[in-house]
Structure 1
Amino acid sequence: MGQIIVQRSAHVLTLELSNPGKANALDRDMLAQLDAQLAHAHGDENVRALVLRGQRGGAFSSGADIREWAPMRPEEFARDWIGYGNALFDRFESLRCPTIAAIEGLCFGGGLELALCADLRVASRAARFRFPELTLGAIPGWHGGPRLARLVGRGRALEAVLTAGEIDAGTAQAWGLVNSACATESFERDLQALVDRLTRVSPRAAALAKAAIVGAQDPAAFYPAATLALRGSPDAEIGIRAFYNKTAAVF
């Protein structure tokens, strides 16, 4: 049985995927724990960034645990595994605060689908990516194909899914699958630098800017409402005052 190891440091919530011996394969307990932590993060405005990762220096996730879903009846599999997983991943993708998937080792199947829900993906040069589902007579059922296509384009997404080929970190960066591919020895430092930048901006502005990009918003209604809410917020006052004083805003 796997678990989600939770760490909190100031405004940053770190969730570590942990399923020893299975390269952090995702089981039902892990999905339920992740769901609970996302609900907590969504409701806690002091959380300004969420980092999802595997154990330092190890795998991110080998995918959905086949021993969990293989025994399920087709109807149960479609409802309780695919349906629930998609609802959970949608909640992760639309989470209020910025999210980062920190990927050091293998990131396969359902693990890659989970990483694709994050706003940003930071990889080490040792990271590897793959959708192996077609070799098992399955498909990436947690919307991994469409999410990948939105990032890298239809042709490359089809190549990755249909060939079940492995993608190295350099190729993933060139494709746009990851935002950066860091040297192994500088991975933690580069990740922390990104987290620091995310937590220095206005949290209210970050949430609304993310919603404008990720959410299915009606621009004609969204932008007037969003700017009205921001303009009347303490963050706007802090930012404008810092601009006039020629100082860095501290939110």
Structure 2
Amino acid sequence: MAQRTNQYDDNPQSYRTYWVSRGYEHDAEVAALRRLLEGRHFGHAADVGGGYGRLVPVLREFADRVTLVDASRKQLNDAEVYLKGLAGVSMRLMSADGLGLHSASVDLVTLIRVMHHLPDPRAALTEIARVLRPGGTAVVETANLAHAANRLRYAAHRRRVPLSPVDIRSAENRERDSIPFVNHHPRTVAAQLEAAGLRVERRLSVSNLRSTRLKRVVPHSALVRAEGALQSPLARVGFGPSIFFLVRKPG
């Protein structure tokens, strides 16, 4: 899904299987996408780092055609099965920081569940800005280093939440150079988006109720309804573990 193609292809775990037990997180992200894109329609959308195409059916609700981009052949092979029969979808083997798409050729770009694999996302954000047409839209998601629980943990140690990315891999995974996994500070990401030429228009706080205990005791439908109601108001305080940015390329 990002830069280390061989690692994604060599990973024996199925990313599609990973999502089987994460219905709440999936529905929270679908709700965020629909909220941000409501009332809009696009000609060409590109889902960058989209894996097996989990969110492509949602994007087809808003776009005439969708290009699924991923750096892993394994992911794209899985996508051929998952998206079979869905019209208006093409697939390209490309990394987020080296998109083989023409400049100003895309109306909507999504980058979801990718930033946490990019310790330095600036090249990827620059590529998004390049392929977007003037006036085009992007939805960029990042794992939130400054979520509410983390702020409390840092405050307990009388420390500030770092503005630079934090590697959250175990020591063992860092030792064997596993796939990067970092959390980003939303303030830094917003500055990087602006530096790439992308204007931040809106934010949502997503997966606000991510809790094993809540999932056990609260019905899924009720949890998702509450999530939808919280995404906008909690964005103001950066509450949740995931932040969605709606950005536009001026034109």
Scaled to the shorter chain, the TM-score interval is: under 0.3
More strand by share: 2
**TM-score, normalised on structure 1?**
0.27
More helix by share: 1
**Which one scores higher on RCO, CA 8 angstroms, separation ≥ 6?**
2
**TM-score, normalised on structure 2?**
0.27
* Greater radius of gyration (CA): 1
